[in-house]
Amino acid sequence: MNESQHPSSSEQADVLVVGAGPAGLALAVALAQAGLRSTVLEQASAASLAAPAEDGRDIALTHRARRILEQLGIWQQLPADEIAPLRRAHVSNGVSPLVLPFDAQGDGHEALGWLVPNFRLREAAYAVAAATPEVKIVCGARVTGLSRLGTVATLQVADGPALQAPLVVAADSRFSTLRRMAGIGARMLDFGRTAIVCRVSHELDHQGIALECFRYGNTLAVLPMAGRTASAVITLPSDQAGDWLATDEADFAQRVQAQLDQRLGAMQLAGPRHSYPLVGVYAHRFAAHRFALVGDAAVGMHPVTAHGYNFGLYSVQVLARELAKARQAGLDLGALPALQTYEAEHRRNTLPIYLGTNGIVQLFTDDRAPARLLRGAVLRVAKRLPPLRQAISRQLTGATLQRRS
């Protein structure tokens, strides 16, 4: 445990946050802005949080997510030359030449959103949280137990003293152990598929267009990053992932290039390949007595609609707002009413998209003949319905949710 950042007993936190991922750290900063002190417990080392390793994930952020990051001061810490605007998205299906275009013009925006490397987001969130006086980050601290009795919640930490506060918030990933300790179940959907992500460089300008190709056999997303580079995301049945990971760099780049019909010209691999098994997770509840869930611990999305961390930031914004109201009203932070308001709003914000995303994935990864027909029909209908595409674009920009919040 990193004792140098351990809170003294005289500085008891209002909230204990478990997990210093991008959601837990953003929450700690949001709570500080609401006048609440937090202690963040993280099993990893301080060095790995301060300078996170590149993990291949590039995160598409909505307009609402950007505004939240700006409000937290995290956006300003991101290297400007690593933020790439996502101007349009083109969706295609199977071997059909039909392309379903999405853009933000109808909504008055220049971009659907922005792409930022995940390790840069984590680095910026840590830098801001570590510099915030109301936030204590305790690294090398693996939480092993949770109890909630009377007016306090208590966390047991491996090789360290127990900590107490009126409220515990779990931000400890989609496979949250705290969620289980709190007796909260989750619906889980194991897609049996793996996403392989890596950076590629290419000959031709991508013009800020994301390409989402629902092919037969695998899905390929190519996301426009800074300069002539892109993030390639290949999603395929997990038993085929080993082949894509083992093949040499030139062959891998050649496969991606061929699947794009040379649209971006000659292509090279520009970074290591990383793989992620895909499991969607939706907690049965986001709140209980003296306990709440945020980030992936509440909702773990399939990456195809790029909502995971955006939802994490929405959860942070709403929970911090409700806790600030409770504090102003002199109420107990761990009592259920404030937490239930958070739960209801976050469920409204996320459940339809969680279910919709899973439905899209299941249909567009089904290569059987009837599904192929339905996939083509869905794209043709969507192409003929501009209002539907605008509604989806607004969803991508977060404009729909922005207006409500």
Residue 295 touching ligand FAD (CB under 6 A)? yes
182-201 binders of ligand FAD (CB under 6 A): 195, 197
Helix (H, G, I), strand (E, B) or coil at 252: helix
Residue 303 touching ligand FAD (CB under 6 A)? yes
Pick from 6, 57, 290, 394: which binds ligand FAD (CB under 6 A)?
Answer: 57
Which residue, 100 or 304, is less far from ligand FAD as judged by CB? Answer: 304
Residue 20 touching ligand FAD (CB under 6 A)? yes
Rounded to the nearest angstrom, the gap between the alpha carbon of residue 369 and the centroid of all alpha carbons in its chain is 33
Pick the stretch among 9-17, 90-98, 252-260, 303-311 that binds ligand FAD (CB under 6 A). Answer: 303-311
Which residue, 279 or 335, is less far from ligand FAD as judged by CB? Answer: 279
Which residue, 332 or 400, is less far from ligand FAD as judged by CB? Answer: 400
Residue 321 touching ligand FAD (CB under 6 A)? no
Supply the minimum distance, in Å, between the C-beta of residue 95 and ligand FAD. Answer: 25
Which residue, 32 or 40, is less far from ligand FAD as judged by CB? Answer: 40
Residue 59 touching ligand FAD (CB under 6 A)? yes
Strand order through the sheet with 160-165 = 143-149, 152-157, 160-165
Residue number closest to ligand FAD, CB atom? 21
Residue 177 touching ligand FAD (CB under 6 A)? yes
Distances (CA, A) of 55 to 76, 290, 322: 21, 33, 33
Residue 89 touching ligand FAD (CB under 6 A)? no
| Those residues with Cβ within 8 angstroms of residue 29's Cβ, 6 or more apart along the chain or in another chain | 72, 73, 74, 125, 128, 129, 132, 135
Residue 304 touching ligand FAD (CB under 6 A)? no
Distances (CA, A) of 194 to 234, 241, 275, 371: 8, 7, 7, 21
Residue 316 touching ligand FAD (CB under 6 A)? no
The span from the CA of 336 to the CA of 403, in Å, is 26
Residue 172 touching ligand FAD (CB under 6 A)? yes
Residue 19 touching ligand FAD (CB under 6 A)? yes
Residue 280 touching ligand FAD (CB under 6 A)? no
Which residue, 166 or 300, is less far from ligand FAD as judged by CB? Answer: 300
Residue 315 touching ligand FAD (CB under 6 A)? no
- H or E element, residue 105: none
The span from the CA of 91 to the CA of 99, in Å, is 6
Residue position matching structure tokens 């605008």 = 390
The span from the CA of 205 to the CA of 221, in Å, is 16
The per-residue DSSP string of 204-239 comes to S--TTEEEEEE-SS-EEEEEE-SSSEEEEEEEEEHH
Pick from 52, 208, 280, 308: which binds ligand FAD (CB under 6 A)?
Answer: 308
Supply the minimum distance, in Å, between the C-beta of residue 368 and ligand FAD. Answer: 26
Residue 63 touching ligand FAD (CB under 6 A)? no
Which residue, 127 or 335, is less far from ligand FAD as judged by CB? Answer: 127
Residues in the chain: 405
Report phi then psi at 138, rounded to 5: -110, 110
Strand order through the sheet with 135-138 = 135-138, 38-41, 15-18, 167-170, 291-293, 287-288
Which residue, 20 or 130, is less far from ligand FAD as judged by CB? Answer: 20
Query: What amino acid occupies position 339?
Result: L
Pick from 143, 163, 184, 326: which binds ligand FAD (CB under 6 A)?
Answer: 143
Q: Which residues bind ligand FAD (CB under 6 A)?
A: 18-24, 41-44, 57, 59-60, 118, 142-143, 171-173, 177, 195, 197, 276, 295-296, 303, 306-310, 312
